Structure 1
Amino acid sequence: MAIVGGLDVHRAQITFDYVDTVTGEVQTGRIVPATRLVLRGWLSRFEGLDAVFATEGCTGWRFVVEELERAGVEAHLAEPADTATLRGRKKRAKTDRADARHLRQLLVDERLPESWIAPSHALEIRIKGRTYVALRIIDALGVEAARLKAELRGFARRQPGCRALVDELYGVGELTAAIIWAEMGDTRRFSSSSQAVRHTGLDITVWSSDGKRSRGRLARQGPPALRWALFEAALCASRTSSPDHDYFVDVSERLGAKRAYMSVARKLARRVHHILRSLGDAAFEQVT
């Protein structure tokens, strides 16, 4: 890598810090205003060079990554919470320049906590899925919801990752497979299936203090469309033909049907993680 750098993105400006690994020269500064065209012009300086940049997965990251890739620069997306943890305790005031330098150093040290950059075809399905979930509750827009449903089902029939989910998971149909596939993303970024469940927002949070412990609640931190699709698939567990029927009945008798469905949805999330992970790159193969 000849050029390694970090970009700290804000609404008004983008702060950069990069180093030429051959000469050791460090360049810092700001890109103002933080617009697509201005950033595109700034990136032209790296034409023909081997350059790698990292930015955090906060507001505004998408257009920055798109412009980096357009310019032939390798883009990395840092997970914000883990990046902050690696910064350690603050010894001095936090600045945009320090954040950019921190990203650059993590990239140099190969310690950058990576977030998944969804390809454009996955983003398209994600948007359609979220729109469908929102529209299905509005009767007046039933025609539009039906059109999106047909498009999502058609995509699922052609995409290898979606087909695998339909074939291997009881209760997952073409519609829910497309939404789960787009929202779950590349599961190889998760170190375990527990992280995949945490991504869905179906994990149980616990609050405790001085011996007092509150009743667990759903975290609800992940995409709502993903939780909807997993829950819809989990509803099939009540059928006697479901492989999870005995488990569903057992949990339902102890905790109630709603919690049983949630438990099955978490089991499905774990299975999705393993299925997509085992497919490798084929899981997100682009189809026409």
Structure 2
Amino acid sequence: MSSITRPTAPCHVPAGTDEEIVLGVDPHKDVHAAAVISVLGVALHGRTFPTTNEGYSRLVAWARSFGTLRRAGVECTGSYGAALTRHLRAEGIWLAALPLPATARSAVADRLEVIDALQVVIDRLDAALARAAKEDPRVKALTALPGIGPLAALIILAEVGDIRRFPSARKLASWAGLTPTVRGSDRTVRYGHISKQGDPWLRWIMNQAAQTAKRTPPYASCFEQIAHRRGRKIATIAIARKLLTHAYHVLRELDAAQPSKEPCTTA
């Protein structure tokens, strides 16, 4: 399977916070079919991984990109699922065996056949994305930032469009819904949660990138300081906003180096 994670829809993707998720795995000889769900039972994403140590590590990292992973269910922890079970236990993840009845196993097998049939189309689209990323110098510049890979860079470019629409980084962050709401009177100003208004895809991809950036200098120290005062959830959002600010300046510098264009209407 491809190494590019494909989201289902913005409303089914977590907001890049530390919300708890649950991992379910159907083990097979050559690949393991994994699914991530919320604690409320909402399906967030599904994907397959090779049955190798690297594949197990990628599976866990992929699941953790959706939130805090403490629990996992593996169908038949013996046989094909034994090695994965040992890996998950070493990661400190609580496990539960999931014996499936024949009807459920048949339904899973049918869905795996559909996934296999779609793989040709998926590979073709992945190749098209890889070509687009390679040909665009903006992608190369954005991927220099921690947490932003080729797919994330392409999503940012697709959602932002012409960077000159935004006169400042704060305008872009506000458009992405990453700025806090403000309530105030003549003497006091109170900042609330982020507005979550604007573009959901841009907000989602920046929060996903922040999951990696918050563990990487120079963002790690900033994350720890904010997390100590306000909590890890708010700190992660702050890193997403900071990362988008840096992405804005990268794109503005590249745009300034290009030949002059017609003026663009601001957002």
- Normalised by the length of structure 1, the TM-score is 0.46
TM-score (norm 2): 0.49
Structure holding more helix per residue: 1
